[in-house]
Structure 1
Amino acid sequence: MATGIFEAKSFDRFIATLAGTSLVDQWDSHVAKVGGKVFVLLSANEEGAALTFKCSEESFELLTSLDGVGQAPYFAKRKWVSVAERAPLSPPELEAYVKRSYELVAAGLTRKARQELGIII
C-alpha cells in the first residue's frame, strides 16, 4: 500500500508547499512542474508507485546504488532517478530529494521567472 509521498494526496499536498508549482497528468504519471519545467513524476506500475526526479551527480551515484532505485528511463543522462516504494528511503528523505530536484530545476529558470513565481533559492 502506498504511503507518504507515494500517495497521490500526500504528493499533491507536499508539492503545493513549493512556490510556483503546478500539477498535471501527463505520460501516465502525476507530474509536478515549476515554471513549466518537470521536476518530479509520481507514477504507478505493476510493482507499485515510483517517484522520478532530478538529483545532483553525487546523489545520483549514491541513490542508484540502492535497491529499488535506478536511472530514470528517458532522463538518465541528465541525472534523473526512479525510486520504487520498496527503496530504503524514509518519507522525509524522499521529500528532501524532491525539494532538491525542485531547486535544481527552478535554478534553471530566468531570474525574472523565479521572481514572478515567488521562488527564493
Structure 2
Amino acid sequence: MIATSIKDVQMNQQAIELFLSTLAGAQAEFPFGPEAKVYKVMGKMFALVTQDETPTRITLKATPVDVDILVDEYEAISRGYHMNKRHWITVTLSDELSGAMLNDLMVRSYDLVVSGLTKAQQAALKV
C-alpha cells in the first residue's frame, strides 16, 4: 500500500507532499484555492497541506479518541482548522514531532478514509 516512508527524512512541505503522493490512489488538487493542496483517495479527502505558509501545517483525519489524546499531549497538534473538530487534527510542523510520528499520522489518516470506502473501491486500490 505504501510506496515509501519518510521516517528518516527531515519533515518539510516537500517531503510531506512527496510521501502523500505515493499512497495508492492519492490525487492532489486545489479545491479551496492556491493556499491549500488537498489529497484525496477515491474522491475522499485525507490530507490538506498549506502552501506558502511558514510553518507549514497539515490537516489529517483521525478518530475522535486520537484527536482528544493528540491535542492534549502535543502543542503542535490542534483540532482541525476549518474542519470537523472531532474528526480532524491540524499539525504545525515543528521539532516537537518526529518524522516517524508524522509519517504514522499521515498513514492513519489515509487508512481511516480507505476503510470507509466500498469494498470495490478498496479492491481497486490494491491493483
TM over 0.5: yes
Q: Deviations over 1:39-81 (max 9, x none)?
A: 0111147652101001122321121122122111332344101
> In structure 1, what residue type is equivalent to 2:67?
F
Pair 1:56-2:63 in alignment: yes
Match of 1:6? 12
Aligned CA-pair RMSD? 2.1
Other structure's SS at 1:60 match:
helix
Q: What is the correspondence of 1:11-26 to structure 2 with a 5 Å cutoff?
A: 11-26=16-31
TM-score, normalising length: structure 1:
0.82
Give 1 or 2: higher strand fraction. Answer: 1
* Aligned partner letter, 2:90: S
Give 5+ residue unaligned stretches, structure 2.
Answer: 1-8
Kindly indicate whether the alpha-carbon contact (under 8 Å) linking 1:67 and 1:87 is maintained by their aligned counterparts in 2. Answer: no
2:45 to 8, 25, 38: 38
For the 8 Å contact 2:67–2:86, the answer to whether it is kept is no
- 1:95 alignment partner in structure 2: 103
Letter in 2 for 1:48: P
Give CA deviations for 1:68-115 in whole Å, capped at 9, x if unaligned.
221113323441011111362111100111100000001111111111
Percent of residue pairs bearing the same amino acid type: 28
